[in-house]
Structure 1
């Protein structure tokens, strides 16, 4: 087994296929993964591309063959044109239910679902798209939002886009998906004053401030703030101190200085892909 950097905001597991097993319609489970699979059964359930459950033959490691393997995959290999050395993503959905997908398809589907979430135009749509991702990767919505925050924080900061509104160009607003991520991580609490404002329905009420107005919706350039704090960024004499990685750490309004809370300090996740042979 070897670990490599994941190109997605998720850690996942793959098994590298071999020509001999492909020809027999089998998938051999490496010793490094046998603890994920049942110990005493001759069947296993796989969720196919359409979300339907299929029963497959299964040979546990403690059988006479001394090889843990899944059978009945000849059609799967044919439909996806699987070749020697190709990697299959293995997802454990529950105790005896798994999903197997070619890695290229897994990456494509997840990138598409993430794009749908990122481009959501309403809170309801963002919630539906987030639920779709959660079901696909078998992670909680909270974990997905944390992963997205970490993953996007490592990307470059682009210029803020303009949109045309009544024939006048205005700077784009913060997308629903980003507000959802910030709400999950900060719970509406102002990063500068540590205050939380609630609506009459007891929902957090907060603004999202662009530290550099011309820069885009990058998490290093965004602050969760109360409306009062937001106004002070405009009307006070302002001093700002950043760390070497570009996170705002201190802000001074006139002569009043505040430390800025950054949730990234509490998040330490490296996304890895485990390749098993």
Structure 2
């Protein structure tokens, strides 16, 4: 009886996973399908197979969206944000994990509040402030905004990793003559590296796909990000759908490839971050 119940449970589990997989992959499959079609066939029926494969959709999308420049802008923005968030987040998380702070509940409330607060609340003050300082169309300045937005999440996740590290490791390193900075860089960071990698992947994904701040603060043609350049492909009254689909697929591919290559480390990092702090 137990064997039958276990088999039924296993079949139900695999069925549920298959359904979830189909739901997850359907938008990507639809994107690939329509990226290879002419516009007329997309409008007629986006679910059919292409009559003729239009590889030139990708070359036109690359040229019209100026991906050679815009993807470089997105990469620079994501890389600078990752470095800033991982650096400041790991330092802050280490201090919060190792120091007894009486106002920890207030800090937790602040971190949760800043994580959930919509960026629209700060958009206009930020824009006028950046305009006064001459920081509009500055990629590094936009990465500072992203750092402020994403740091609370990084701090709360990395703090759980530092809490899981036994204090005896730090004490033994200090007894051997290491400074507090050496303990942090040579002992703690290698141990919590899966968490830092997880934060880097998530923050990189957020920065790569972010639209509202990028289109507000990066307005020059040579400062536009890849996501904004895809949006600019559609006109006010017309849209070249096969080109837009191809451009969207070009943007998605680097993220998918990166996640596939690092999925094991990413899953391990997320599982490690579930430790209760």
Q: Which has the higher contact order (CA 8 A, sep 6+)?
A: 2
Q: Same fold (TM over 0.5)?
A: no
**Quick check: which one's strand share is greater?**
1
TM tier relative to shorter chain? under 0.3
Calculate the TM-score normalised by the size of structure 1: 0.26
If each structure's helix is expressed as a fraction of its own residues, which one has the higher value? 2
